[in-house]
Structure 1
Amino acid sequence: MRSLERLAIGKVSTVDRHVLADILLRAVTAAVFGMFAIAAISRWLAAPTRVTLLLFVVENCFTTGLALVSRMPVQRDWRPVSLFFSLGGTYGCMAYNLTPGIHLLPETAGASLQIAGIAWQLFAKGSLKRSFGVLPANRGVVSHGAYRVVRHPMYLGYFVTDIGFLLANFSLFNLSIHCFQLAMQVGRIVREERILETDIAYRCYRKAVRYRLIPMLF
């Protein structure tokens, strides 16, 4: 009887630690985004024609806001490598140099790509509702809406939006950040699917939707 009580107490303690860690992660996320937003908006106010910079803030506002109100998952991967991939993939773009770079695309063309990426993210997030978060987790299998196209459509939206900003504000530093973030997203996808593949519903979904991120490629 005592061993059962100790086991129950141990489980409760583990849950409490995970709840506290989740609250801390959300607080850090909000703080990092706040500092990024202040820096980016101040630069945009100094140069209001930089629409790509404003849209860059809007995109990250959506991402951070949804992460802050997401529901607690049934299963989540708290391992350091998963934390590294997840934070790098989600917020690595905040390391971009926000000063004007080389215009490989005109500002309007870059902004158009960003708007397309943001619209796709909203479509994907509308399909997910509150089943969204930073760390790899099983929050239930979603197979409708944008999830009929690729298995990780929100990350595809990030990729398109960030490409729009990169091409209108190009530098070798920003290119290296973009490549780093893309590598983090791929690692994040692999970590997420390791958790989800234990769910028979996800294994069936994976057979129906072949590609993870980019149709016909990956």
Structure 2
Amino acid sequence: MQLATEIVVRTLTAVVLSLFVVSTARQYLMDPSRITLIFFALSGVLTVGLAIVSRVPRERDWNPVSLAITLFGTFYYLAIRTEPGIRLVPEFYAVAIQLLGVVIQVYAKCSLRRSFGLLPANRGVIVIGPYRVVRHPMYLGYFVTDAGFLLANFGHWNVLVIFIQWTLQIGRIMQEERLLAKDDTYRKYMSRVRYRLAFGLF
């Protein structure tokens, strides 16, 4: 039953991601100067694509709150308006910020290898790479990438979606830590690495 559920969920996730990538590509082809669209799509592919091939966890949080947070936190990009918005900074600067966010994501995900997924789960405690500095560097990468996209595609709707996204991601982090804190290894890790996202702040 668990395997069948995994297959169905991952297949649907792949379909939704494909539709988003096609839609974003169409917007980009209409205006190839909007490179931020490519990096926004790349961030989605990294997030969802790697989750599709991740290992099945030992324990997963199917709590309705966790599920709702995860669904919006993962698929929020479907609510983003990819039509041209207001460029608060030149495209090049926005892309540079996005690139930084993607690099942080890739570094974090390379450290995790296949210990990565969407729902809060215990896939083993990782304490190498950027996880030696903050406990959730992958989410930091998401935030930086979103900020770069917003700077070149500003609009009231996108601000609202990304604000909700960031708020829910904080909730997602708290849910993950609630589950992982059951593991003695993770509790020791929390005592060594104090900050979740921003060193000295949170």
Q: TM-score, normalization: structure 1?
A: 0.90
1:189 corresponding residue in structure 2? 173
Q: Provide the C-alpha distance between the structure 2 equivalents of 1:116 and 1:168, rounded to a whole number of angstroms.
A: 15
Please tell me the residue identity of whatever aligns with 1:118: V
Q: Percent identity, aligned pairs only?
A: 50
Alignment of 1:56 with 2:1, yes or no, is no
> Superposition pairs for residues 35-114 of structure 1, below 5 Å?
35-114=19-98
CA-to-aligned-CA distance 1:98-134 (integer Å, 9 cap, x gap): 0111111110000000101001101000100000000
Q: TM-score, normalization: structure 2?
A: 0.97
Contact 1:71 1:131 in 2 (8 A): yes
Q: Provide the C-alpha distance between the structure 2 equivalents of 1:147 and 1:94, rounded to a whole number of angstroms.
A: 29
* CA apart distance, 1:167: 0.8
Contact 1:141 1:202 in 2 (8 A): yes
Please tell me the residue identity of whatever aligns with 2:118: V
Root-mean-square deviation (CA, aligned residues, Å) is: 1.0
* CA apart distance, 1:90: 2.1
> Superposition pairs for residues 172-183 of structure 1, below 5 Å?
172-183=156-167
Please tell me the residue identity of whatever aligns with 1:90: T
Which has the higher Rg, Structure 1 or Structure 2? 1
Q: Provide the C-alpha distance between the structure 2 equivalents of 1:184 and 1:154, rounded to a whole number of angstroms.
A: 15
1:128 corresponding residue in structure 2? 112
Please tell me the residue identity of whatever aligns with 2:21: A
Instruction: Report runs of 4+ in structure 1 exceeding 4 Å deviation.
Output: none
Q: Provide the C-alpha distance between the structure 1 equivalents of 2:58 and 2:167, rounded to a whole number of angstroms.
A: 27
Among 148, 152, 159, the residue aligned to 1:164: 148
* CA apart distance, 1:160: 0.2
Q: Any unmatched runs of 5+ in structure 1?
A: 1-15
Q: Provide the C-alpha distance between the structure 1 equivalents of 2:104 and 2:177, rounded to a whole number of angstroms.
A: 21
Alignment of 1:203 with 2:184, yes or no, is no
* CA apart distance, 1:94: 3.1
Q: Provide the C-alpha distance between the structure 1 equivalents of 2:174 and 2:166, rounded to a whole number of angstroms.
A: 13
The DSSP-based 3-state class of the residue aligned with 1:211 is coil
CA-to-aligned-CA distance 1:131-172 (integer Å, 9 cap, x gap): 000000000000110101111110110000010000110001
CA-to-aligned-CA distance 1:165-207 (integer Å, 9 cap, x gap): 0011000110000111011101111111111001000000001
Q: Provide the C-alpha distance between the structure 2 equivalents of 1:192 and 1:209, rounded to a whole number of angstroms.
A: 16
Contact 1:90 1:185 in 2 (8 A): no
CA-to-aligned-CA distance 1:32-70 (integer Å, 9 cap, x gap): 111111110011011111100111111111112101100
Q: Provide the C-alpha distance between the structure 2 equivalents of 1:28 and 1:190, rounded to a whole number of angstroms.
A: 26
Please tell me the residue identity of whatever aligns with 2:103: A
Q: Any unmatched runs of 5+ in structure 2?
A: none
* CA apart distance, 1:24: 1.9
